[in-house]
A = this chain, B = another copy of it.
Amino acid sequence: MFKPVCRQTVRQLRAASRCQNVGVTKRYMHAPLAFDWKDPLGASNLYTEDELAIAETAESYCQERMLPRVLEAFRNEEYDRKILEEMGELGLLGATIKGYDCAGVSSVASGLITRAVERVDSGYRSGMSVQSSLAMGGIEEFGTEEQKERFLPGMAKGKILGCFGLTEPNHGSDPGSMESVAKPHPTKKGYYSLSGSKTWITNSPIADVLLVWAKLQQTGKIRGFLVEREKCPPGTLETPKLGNKNGLRASITGMIQMDDIPVPHENMFPDIEGLRGPFSCLNSARYGIAWGVIGALEDAIARTREYALERKQFKGNPIAKYQLVQKKLADATTDAAYGILAAYQVGRLKDEGKAAPEMISMIKRQNCDRALVNTRTLQEVFGGNAVSDEYHIGRHVSNLFVTQTYEGQSDIHALILGRAITGIQAFC
């Protein structure tokens, strides 16, 4: 139904990248002069034609295939793992990775994919982020060549699902204090024995390969391990689902309980030690979140605008005529437009190797904060009707709160920025 544009663009992009000057942005030529509330500051002028084509593929898929599933998924906390398979068919997973059957697109293109997915639901985007940025991204950046070849092609197709185990029950904002540990396996030679527990792990209950971070007993340093579910002896790995969530209900979240799992040495990442590894993966994921949440906000704007034009009160005027309603729309539209430009800028810098981690802290934090604040304000326009999930706005609000708290709660990123600005640590 959808032609996998990304696959096609792989070749195009590779060809293009050979002759392309890094840093030269080809602007889309035919933007209209008129103001477009869907793209208020003309960001579409900044994308390459390939990027626009990829965005279109992603948008079509998301609106036509994902959107119809989301209400039931959210109501019942059910995640359809086929979604990742479908995305894999379109080349949307691990899309920035070059080689290994991945599309090798620009960071901006991957941002546009993310935005398209989160326009439908932040939970769906979370499921994809984990697969693409955290699991595949981690393997691509830190894995051995053998690990990459073993996992990435299947993951790109959505046949092998991954997850990312960093956060522990008692160590949310402070993963350096983690308690999970890898010791030499007492009986199996060439194996580590992995124990500990992780929580709030998106996709853990359905993951085939779990990228788990644990301290290597010998060194006390954090290392990355690829745990293959089907190779775990019974009783060593449990990944119970965490239900009764009040947000991201269309994604699946769970724990990872590890009780002396034997993991072969060749499943450990070879060189990376300490928090640099997981933080680098998180950086990629956060970059995606910065794009994604604007998608959710844009959906909220579109739905609110439509509601305000249709809803009539007091002498038959649409409530879109009220100043208080227009101001909410103006504020939200502004923040969406600004958020896209900032995410775009960091995307381009990322591909040029110039994106400092604090830049990503900044856009992750600001875009999540503004998406949340504005979506909440827009929700007011729906009055009492907002309580019905069929208007979708409440779902975005619930989801966006979670995006503000995960992968670095807003205040944590504020202090990361504060440290970068002042040179002084304030996590006392």
Set of chain B residues within 8 Å of A295, measured between Cβ atoms:
none
Are A27 and B24 in contact, with the CB atoms below 8 A?
A: yes
Are A244 and B389 in contact, with the CB atoms below 8 A?
A: yes
Set of chain B residues within 8 Å of A13, measured between Cβ atoms:
none
Q: How far is the CB of A291 from chain B (nearest CB, A)?
A: 14
- Oligomer copy total: 4
Interface residues as binary, A308-348 with B (CB distance below 8 Å gives 1, 0 otherwise): 11001110011011111111011101100111011001100
Are A379 and B401 in contact, with the CB atoms below 8 A?
A: yes
Contacting residue for A420 out of B37, B43, B309, CB 8 A = B37
Q: A362-B337, A410-B380 are in contact. Are A23 and B23 (CB under 8 A)?
A: no
Q: Verify if A2 is at the interface (C-beta below 8 Å from B).
A: no
Are B23 and A246 in contact, with the CB atoms below 8 A?
A: no
Can you spell out 25 A-B residue pairs with CB atoms less than 8 angstroms apart?
Answer: A23-B27, A23-B29, A23-B45, A34-B356, A35-B356, A35-B357, A35-B358, A37-B421, A41-B346, A42-B354, A42-B356, A43-B345, A200-B387, A242-B388, A245-B389, A247-B394, A314-B427, A320-B422, A321-B422, A322-B411, A330-B418, A334-B417, A338-B341, A380-B409, A383-B409
Q: How far is the CA of A71 from the CA of B359 in the complex (A)?
A: 35
Set of chain B residues within 8 Å of A174, measured between Cβ atoms:
313-314
Q: Verify if A52 is at the interface (C-beta below 8 Å from B).
A: no
Are A41 and B426 in contact, with the CB atoms below 8 A?
A: no
Interface residues of A (CB under 8 A from B): 22-27, 29, 31, 33-35, 37, 40-43, 45-46, 71, 75, 167, 170-174, 177, 200, 242, 244-248, 253, 305, 308-309, 312-314, 317-318, 320-327, 329-331, 333-334, 337-339, 341-342, 345-346, 349, 352-359, 362-363, 365-366, 376, 379-380, 382-390, 394-395, 397-398, 401-402, 404-406, 409-411, 413-415, 417-428
Q: How far is the CB of A345 from chain B (nearest CB, A)?
A: 5
Contacting residue for A395 out of B172, B246, B389, CB 8 A = B246
Set of chain B residues within 8 Å of A247, measured between Cβ atoms:
387, 394
Q: How far is the CA of A42 from the CA of B329 in the complex (A)?
A: 29
Q: How far is the CB of A359 from chain B (nearest CB, A)?
A: 6
- Considering the complex, give the chain B residue whose CB is closest to the CB of A395: B246
Q: How far is the CB of A325 from chain B (nearest CB, A)?
A: 8
* 5 A-B pairs with least C-beta separation: A326-B418, A23-B27, A246-B394, A330-B417, A35-B358
Other A-B pairs, 7, CB within 8 Å; known A321-B428, A397-B401: A31-B354, A40-B359, A41-B359, A242-B388, A317-B428, A327-B418, A384-B402
Are A359 and B42 in contact, with the CB atoms below 8 A?
A: yes
Set of chain B residues within 8 Å of A426, measured between Cβ atoms:
321-323, 326
Q: How far is the CA of A324 from the CA of B423 in the complex (A)?
A: 15
Contacting residue for A356 out of B33, B331, B341, CB 8 A = B33
